[in-house]
């Protein structure tokens, strides 16, 4: 049987020149996984989240989350496109704060718990998208303000629109994640029925490319352990 690990990804990803100019320290790595088996949160995922919180606390060494140099760089990037970083925190900072709080990290489902654990342990934004729900290629752009974003408001599905100039991930149907990696849309999120997924790990300088690759390698390894029959592809690092 061939190895389930392959270099490169098949999903088309595009980084706009406007985003490149906004954040010259930005880079990302994509991990594509097919043939996954998702389901409700389990003991293995819960243990990963608890261990990630322990690794985070050790990394911070008593410092406040926002004082980590990597998260400080993300705050600066958010400020650059007009977002208040203290109100709309990047996903890594938001998760890290929850990990250190009394309630701890939420348990969502097996795949989301797994990539959230990597995000917290490495203090890096990580997102997961259902490949079967993505329409066309994905792009990181500055929004015009006309792109639909499907979310939930008051317990019901709702459509919002990003602010003009806001950095968003989108596909041919609309926004998949607002304010870079602040809030994921419901249309492409990973559910218990998801079998094919795209995971995006995003970094700002001063996080090194080797550190980004290490986070991607850990995610791929954990996915393979959780889903032995899955086919995992790790892409090349892309930087501005």
pLDDT at 5: 43
Looking at the predicted structure, is the pLDDT value of residue 42 above 90?
yes
pLDDT at 115: 98
**Which CATH number describes the domain made up of 5-239?**
3.50.40.10
pLDDT at 72: 97
The mean pLDDT of 206-232, rounded to a whole number, is 98
pLDDT at 85: 83
3-state secondary structure of 39: coil
Q: Domains of the chain: which residue ranges? A: 5-239
Looking at the predicted structure, is the pLDDT value of residue 52 above 70?
yes
From residue 85, alpha-carbon distances to 42, 74, 77, 81, 156 in Å are 33, 8, 9, 10, 27
Looking at the predicted structure, is the pLDDT value of residue 3 above 80?
no
What are the tens digits of pLDDT across the range 172-189? 999 999 999 999 999 999
Q: Whole-model pTM?
A: 0.94
Looking at the predicted structure, is the pLDDT value of residue 76 above 90?
yes
pLDDT at 186: 97
pLDDT band at 222 (very low <50, low <70, confident <90, very high): very high
pLDDT band at 86 (very low <50, low <70, confident <90, very high): confident
Radius of gyration of the chain (CA): 17
pLDDT band at 1 (very low <50, low <70, confident <90, very high): very low
pLDDT at 9: 66
Residue 146 CB coordination number (10 Å): 9
What is the C-alpha separation between 91 and 180, in angstroms, rounded? Answer: 9
């Amino acid at each position: 049987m061939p190895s389930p690990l392959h270099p490169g990804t098949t999903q088309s990803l595009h980084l706009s020149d406007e985003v490149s100019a906004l954040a010259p320290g930005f880079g990302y790595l994509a991990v594509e996984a097919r043939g996954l088996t998702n389901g409700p949160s389990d003991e293995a995922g819960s243990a990963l989240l608890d261990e990630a919180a322990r690794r985070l606390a050790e990394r911070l060494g008593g410092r406040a989350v926002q004082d980590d140099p990597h998260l400080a760089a993300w705050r600066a990037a958010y400020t650059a496109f007009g977002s208040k970083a203290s109100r709309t925190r990047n996903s890594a900072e938001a998760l890290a704060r929850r990990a250190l709080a009394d309630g701890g990290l939420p348990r969502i489902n097996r795949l989301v718990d797994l990539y959230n654990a990597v995000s917290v342990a490495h203090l890096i934004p990580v997102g997961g998208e259902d490949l079967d729900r993505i329409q066309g290629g994905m792009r990181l752009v500055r929004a015009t303000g006309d792109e639909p974003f499907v979310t939930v408001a008051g317990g019901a599905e709702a459509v919002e629109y990003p602010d003009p100039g806001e950095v968003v991930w989108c596909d041919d149907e609309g926004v998949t994640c607002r304010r870079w990696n602040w809030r994921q849309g419901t249309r492409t999120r990973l559910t218990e029925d998801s079998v094919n997924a795209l995971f995006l790990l995003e970094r700002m300088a001063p996080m090194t490319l080797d550190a980004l690759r290490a986070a991607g390698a850990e995610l791929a390894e954990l996915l393979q352990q959780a889903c032995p029959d899955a086919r995992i592809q790790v892409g090349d690092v892309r930087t501005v």
